[in-house]
Structure 1
Amino acid sequence: NWAKTSRGLDSTAGTTASIAIVRNRKLYTGHVGDSAIVLGCRDTREQSRDLWHAQALTVEHKPSNPKERERIERAGGSLMRKGGVYRVVWRRPAQSSGADSSPQQQQQRQLFESVPFLAVARSLGDLWSYDKNSSEFHVSPEPDVQCINLDYSKHKCLILGSDGLWNMVAPDSAVEMVHICERSTENKVFTDPDVPQNFFYNPSGSLVQMAMQRWMRADLRADNITALVVMLDPPGRPMSQLRSEQRDLTLARLGLQRESP
């Protein structure tokens, strides 16, 4: 019952999707498309330097990936290059003039055109890619899923982002930006009595700004940029409470008076 296009064809609407669930010291992820998930990890071998690095948790579902190409062709689909990029082909009824030009009549006469359409191999939606012969989607909605055990002494943050972010910002650079925001927030809150206790430098906003600036410097039209950062606090007392106590101790040591509420 999904709405058809203006030509009466199956819907071309679709989206990538990435999801992360943290429960009982485990991280569950699932994704379709090219919106990646990155885990920020502290280098436990360099305790004194507090270095963070990125661990990619997802692999982009691109048509150029041999595994995806094989699946698409097995389902009856094909790929074509457009602008140097492999795309999933939409075999759609060709437009023609005349009274008998409805999609149903064209299908009976087998008048089709092959259009290099989509640059991702999996998504939610994209009903146009359903193959009635194989009963499968060329653009698959089936996600890749995994579960990893969390070590809160090592695992520090999660970054979920669209390709508008990752096309311009490398995973290690993104994790470093989150780390900088975290350290800058603590330094500001712990040393400035005039700053509200809930003050923070927004790492998600910082990542979006970084990506946008790089798109502009490259003189390219920016793709949509979405970034979501989740800090992985260890179980126990809330981080806000621990920071409040640390703030009081630090300000007292510096001889500064905390702002009265």
Structure 2
Amino acid sequence: MELKISDIDDAKKLMNLALYAGSLLISNGAESYRAEDTVERICLSCQEIDSVDCYALPTAIFLKLKYKDEFINNFKKIKVSDINLGKIDLINNFSRNFSKNIYDLDKAYEELKSIENKGDRQYQKIIAGGIAASFFTVLFGGGLKDFFPSFIIGMIISYFVDYLYRFKMSFFINNAIASLVSAVLAISAVKLGLGNDFDKIIIGVIMLIVPGVAITNALRDIMSGEFITGAITLIKAVFIALAIAIGAGFGLKFMRMML
């Protein structure tokens, strides 16, 4: 049974709810076409909503819907967040449940708010970063002696990246600083006799900040016909890669001057 929209105020609540869900998807790393599909599904699952048009960008989402004979337009600016596939899955489940009329509008908004505030335990992210960095180091040719310093540095960088985002600086600066610190720590570990190949350690650690998901999403958006969105995401990924290269280069230069 479809949720009944009784007046224009309920229609506006529905619009804000759909925009909220779409913005959460994009800010947590979902593709634009997925966000558009979710927004449209939420709106069309209600009575008296005749047509819905949604257009999502990496920084904003626009929505127009028709309630009875009246068109309503709105948009929401999107704050850049981190990739969180768990939240994307929760929002997808929410949209399916909303379509089944499990929530009313107020309860649905509270559910989205709880999903937004749901955070991973920091120690889990730090340990996962160490595990990923150490195995990437081995994958790219590092030895067993490089495994353990990569694990420690990976945990440090995982915490450090989260810490940098608190200052709300540019993503370019954040990634450049993170890769610079990675290079400095990797070379220091080798000089202290804790590792053999600092280049393998650096590669393994900076894989934590390489924009692989962004590049994948950009290509998927382009193949889905979302050319502007895909191009914007791809350009951002290129700048992140450039920041990583610059940061690692400065780190190598700094350590050569110091040692």
TM-score, length of structure 2 as denominator length: 0.27
More strand by share: 1
Bigger radius of gyration: 1
Higher RCO (C-alpha 8 Å, min separation 6) = 1
More helix by share: 2
TM-score, length of structure 1 as denominator length: 0.27
